[in-house]
Amino acid sequence: MSTQTNGNNKPLLEAKDIYAGYTDFDILQGVSLEVYPGEIVCVIGPNGAGKSTVFKTIYGFLKIRKGTVIFDGQEITNKRPQQILRAGISNVPQLRSIFPQMTVKENLEMGMYIEKDKKRIAERIEYVLGLFPRLAERRAQMAGTMSGGEQRMLEIGRALMLEPKLILMDEPSAGLAPLITRMIFENVERLNKEIGLTVLMIEQNARQGLEASHRGYVLELGQNSYQGTGQELINNAEVRRAFLGG
């Protein structure tokens, strides 16, 4: 995927010189990244590089010791997850987070638990089901009886319910077969083109993640290692050797 033209736009999300971790140990040691409106940005790197820690700090699950996070012109450093959600950032976690004993429609409703307007909730459900015809066909089906790919689609749909400005996706391909993984990435790219969805994702499947992204960052040992367009990183010999299998 080619890079977006950012023009004079400011970053929608800007993490600057982030230091964060657990107890007295900083896993992140000066990480910086930017996401512009309408971009898909992928963060790759080896296990233990700090990829998930980046998400936890942005979303308020982990305290930032040094550095700032700016979102849509406002500082959100160390805000609580519910405040981050209200600011316009949704989160699709790595581990399955659907409610298996609830229907597809009921799961989508849970994506608007902070919204009291029933008319708006109903409108958003129809909008999201319009984006995912497969979910529309299964609106009354128990979510736990669906395939892994359909459940992941439901999680993405639920994350869209509050009309977020940015979605964080933690390993969207985790636990999925290659064919289903491709379908999920195709859906993310389609939503990016159709509705301008802005995405920051972590992905272990580095090649597929970068192919679906406008830009990417490589983290190693809690620090920025490489950055560039998705294609530049795929073509980079060092990145290819270390992360893309040749």
Separation between Cα atoms, residue 19 and residue 32, nearest integer Å: 10
Q: What is the CATH number of the domain that holds 30?
A: 3.40.50.300
Domain membership of residue 235 (yes or no) is yes
pLDDT one-digit tens code per residue, 59-116: 999 999 999 999 999 999 999 999 999 999 999 988 778 999 999 999 999 988 877 8
Q: Is the pLDDT of residue 17 over 90?
A: yes
> 10: helix, coil or strand?
coil
Task: Assess whether 103 and 83 both reside in one domain.
Answer: no
More confident residue, 48 or 74: 74
What's the rounded mean pLDDT across residues 36-42?
97
- Residue 1 domain-assigned? no
Q: Are residues 130 and 189 in the same domain?
A: no
Same domain, 120 and 175: no
Residues 66 and 171 in one domain: yes
| pLDDT at residue 198, as a whole number | 97
* 54 assigned to some structural domain: yes
Q: How many domains is the chain partitioned into structurally?
A: 2
What's the pLDDT tens digit per position in 123-174? 999 999 988 888 999 999 999 999 888 898 899 999 999 899 999 999 888 8
Considering the chain, what is the average pLDDT of its residues? 90
- Given this model, what pLDDT does residue 246 score? 56
186 pLDDT above the threshold of 60: yes
Q: Indicate if 138 and 114 belong to the same structural domain.
A: yes
Pairwise CA distance, residues 117 & 126, whole Å = 15
Domain around 45:
6-88+166-246
Q: Which residue has the higher pLDDT, 6 or 165?
A: 165
Report the pLDDT value the prediction gives residue 1, as an integer from 0 to 100: 67
Looking at the chain, the whole-number percentage of residues with pLDDT higher than 90 is 64
Question: Do 158 and 174 lie in a common domain?
Answer: no
Domain boundary (141, 163, 185) is at: 163
Q: Which of 128, 145, 163 is the last residue of a domain?
A: 163
Percentages (nearest 5) of helix, strand, coil residues in the chain? 40, 25, 35
Last-in-domain residue among 109, 139, 163: 163
pTM score: 0.90
Q: In terms of domains, do 127 and 232 share one?
A: no
Quick check: 46 pLDDT over 60? Answer: yes
Q: In sequence order, which ranges of the chain are alpha helices (DSSP H)?
A: 51-58, 81-87, 104-110, 118-131, 133-137, 148-160, 178-195, 206-211, 230-235, 237-243
What integer pLDDT is reported at residue 5 of this predicted model?
A: 46
How confident is the model over 168-193, as a mean pLDDT? 87
Residue 236 and residue 186 share a domain: yes
Has residue 200 got a pLDDT over 80?
A: yes
Is 116 within a domain? yes
133 and 173 together in one domain: no
